[in-house]
Amino acid sequence: MALSQVQCLDDNHINLRTNESKPEFFYSEEQRLALETLIHDGQDAYEDYIQTNNIRSFLSDLELESILNTVEVYSPGSPDYNAELLGDSDGEEISLQYWPDRSDRSIPLLDIGWPDRASYRGVTRVQVYTQPPYEGQSHIKEVVRKMISQAQKVIAIVMDLFTDIDIFKDLLDASYKRKVSVYIMLETTGVKHFVRMHHRNLVDGKQVRSIRGAEFFSRSSKRVCGSQSQKFMFIDGDKAVSGSYSFTWSASRLDRNLITVLTGQAVDTFDSLFQDMYVMSNGVCLSKINLSSEPKPEFLPQAGPTLLPSATTALKLINPKYTLVSNCAFTTNGPVSDLTRAKNSTSKNLTEVIKQIKDTPLQFRSKHQVKRRSILIKINIKETARVRILSHLWRSWKQCMCLPVIKYIKRNYV
């Protein structure tokens, strides 16, 4: 019920006469009738009504468009207006009894934990942060992330739009690693964007709820719902953050925003406000949210892993002894050429094998390939030294054995 209707039930209440010039002026019967005309008959009838009754135009073009787009027929017996998003409506009929014995819906409980309300929370302290940062202050996103990382009991968030992946990751770490109770309450129109950004990490939606603004019901069984524009975060029962900052990438880098960090007794207001809003909120059923319009990523074909020779085969390919024993004829240049071919084939085979391993993408490399590469590098060093030793031994044998024989033949037969 509206406050004016509740006050009429009080016999001792006297309606003071106010006009538009007084700060106490809030309710206007003329404006209510003009809004009724707008909802029932449209914008043209609304303009005719305010001109006929000499009423100042109190709605801008943006407000007129918003109201006309959000008008919906109100029928208590029909399914809920947002049945696609909410999991609370189960198709049961709603009681039309004015004072029912039991509520038509169960009251949501803060079942994953909530700090006890203290009688006194301490001296109130306030700090203001801006975006862009002012006079060397910390960035507002840094302030929020630090408060989340320091939370020990509960984190309660009320936001119009929440798509920042960094802050959401911090909430996951707080929930799963530190066992902190996390509650998220979003404006109804922002739930779909939230789920689309974070649906890969959302398992259960019982901690995510939606809420809308105040409602206006007309005599023609139509209603208009406002938007949820409150933005605050309540932490551990003794800290709160409030301001114009939404948890989005653009709000932390492009938009100008301001947040106020409060501690002490002033936090008690946010405690009561969140609990009241939680009772009026609706649960979010993640399975009923349609994400079919989300574009699917295109997977490009990737080359599979190249089959490499085993370690035993690689040893045989680079070991020069398998090349040396294949030639039994020893000529003057035979062993040297064998050694040269062995050295060249060793370097070539080893280079090809290592190149194949390098060309293989990291995600396709197995631990055996990485180990094989390290083995081949070590073998390359050893075999290079071995080939050099064999070459040196052949030159020494040639000088010691071949030259005396040639001199003897020349001296006796030539």
Q: In this structure, is residue 216 part of a structural domain?
A: yes
Dihedrals phi, psi of 61, to nearest 5 degrees: -60, -35
| Residues 231 and 147 sit within 8 Å (Cβ to Cβ) | no
62/120 same-domain check: no
145/208 same-domain check: yes
Q: In this structure, is residue 367 part of a structural domain?
A: no
Q: In this structure, is residue 381 part of a structural domain?
A: no
pLDDT, tens digit, 9 for 90 and up, residues 310-360: 656 655 555 555 555 444 434 444 444 444 555 555 555 556 655 655 555
118/63 same-domain check: no
The highest-confidence range among 241-245, 340-344, 377-381, by mean pLDDT, is 241-245
Average pLDDT, the chain: 75
Q: In this structure, is residue 353 part of a structural domain?
A: no
8/139 same-domain check: no
Residue 90 clears pLDDT 60, i.e. is over it: no
Q: In this structure, is residue 263 part of a structural domain?
A: yes
Instruction: Tell me which residue of 142, 114, 137 sits closest to 127, measured CA to CA.
Output: 137
| Residues 188 and 162 sit within 8 Å (Cβ to Cβ) | no
| Residues 270 and 243 sit within 8 Å (Cβ to Cβ) | no
15/126 same-domain check: no
Residue 2 clears pLDDT 80, i.e. is over it: no
59/173 same-domain check: no
Residue that is last in its domain, among 45, 69, 93: 69
- Segment among 43-57, 84-98, 227-241, 246-260 with least mean pLDDT: 84-98
Strands of the 222-225 sheet, one edge to the other: 72-73, 222-225, 215-217
Q: In this structure, is residue 11 part of a structural domain?
A: yes
CATH number at residue 116: 3.30.870.10
CA distance 48 to 38: 10
Q: In this structure, is residue 226 part of a structural domain?
A: yes
132/253 same-domain check: yes
42/123 same-domain check: no
- Compute CA 93 distance to the chain's CA centroid, rounded to the nearest angstrom: 38
Residues of the domain holding 35: 3-69
pLDDT, tens digit, 9 for 90 and up, residues 147-198: 999 999 999 999 999 999 999 999 999 988 999 999 999 999 888 888 888 7
Q: In this structure, is residue 94 part of a structural domain?
A: no
CA distance 123 to 41: 54
Residue 287 clears pLDDT 50, i.e. is over it: yes
Instruction: Tell me which residue of 210, 196, 110 sits closest to 160, measured CA to CA.
Output: 210
| Residue 378, Ramachandran bin (φ over 0: left; ψ between -120 and 50: alpha; else beta) | alpha
What are the beta bridge partners of residue 73?
Answer: 222
- For the chain, the domain total comes to 2
